[in-house]
Chain A
Amino acid sequence: DIQMTQSPSSLSASVGDRVTITCRASQGIRNYLAWYQQKPGKVPKLLIYGASTLQSGVPSRFSGSGSGTDFTLTISSLQPEDVATYYCQKYNNVFLTFGGGTKVEIK
């Protein structure tokens, strides 16, 4: 089974900071990776699919990159409304796996 490892598990940054979250797959998954944002008490929201394609309606300060085993979600300028937990998810085959999540807070 392919494992998805996110780092860090949590971070605290100031408004306006550039934030980077990493997701590593234990085997290559090409670009079959999605990112989700989950705010407290809410349903997960799709941000990015295909490793780098921004879902419609998602602010352009979010971006994704990577291929193979190493992927990155970047928030170019952190906003207060970005406080949430972020999850990566691989979908290179029928068996889906989520990363453990990264909790983002405002310093």
Chain B
Amino acid sequence: QVLLVESGGGVVQPGRSLRLSCAASGFSFSNYAMHWVRQAPGKGLEWVAVISYDGSSKYYGDSVKGRFTISRDNSKNTLYLQMNSLRAEDTAVYYCARDEVSSPSEYFQHWGQGTLVTVSS
């Protein structure tokens, strides 16, 4: 079955960087677009970024554009999110999610369990 496992979360100071990973299994990773979605404590869902199946296309939400970079390594079945210049408002659980198509974007049947990022001094 489809399995998405995020890692790399933790506590980080404002202005610092963090890289999240999402290890995928149970499907042909290189055939699907992949997303990051986040959820601040007690708040709603916010779409962060998407990358196409081959990494050639990447799109970002306005709140992270210019600071976050999505990437993937299809040889390792792994999705990444490089987060730079972190702010307190980036504090959230970060989910990776699999698109239903190869090129962005549709909806999500499959989600990881999430990894918590806390930005605090």
Contacts and interface: CB of A to CB of B under 8 A. Distances in A.
B59 A95 contact: yes
Contact of B95 (A1, A43, A87, A97): A43
A101 B44 contact: yes
Interface residues of B, number: 22
Contact of A55 (B35, B46, B109, B113): B109
B84 interface: no
A100 B61 contact: no
A18 B9 CA distance: 40
Interface string B93-121: 00100001000111111011110000000
Contacts of B46: 98
A91 B105 CA distance: 6
A98 B47 contact: yes
Contacts of A43: 95, 111-114
Interface string A79-107: 00000010101010111111111000000
Given A1-B62, A43-B114, A87-B45, A96 B35 contact: yes
A94 B50 contact: yes
Chain A residues touching B, range? 20 to 34
A11 to B, nearest CB: 16
Contacts of A66: none
Interface of A: 1, 34, 36, 38, 43-44, 46, 49, 55, 85, 87, 89, 91, 93-101
21 contacts: A1-B62, A34-B106, A36-B108, A43-B111, A43-B113, A44-B45, A44-B108, A46-B107, A46-B109, A55-B109, A85-B44, A89-B47, A91-B105, A91-B107, A93-B105, A94-B57, A96-B35, A98-B47, A99-B44, A101-B44, A101-B45
Interface of B: 35, 44-47, 50, 57, 59, 61-62, 95, 100, 104-109, 111-114
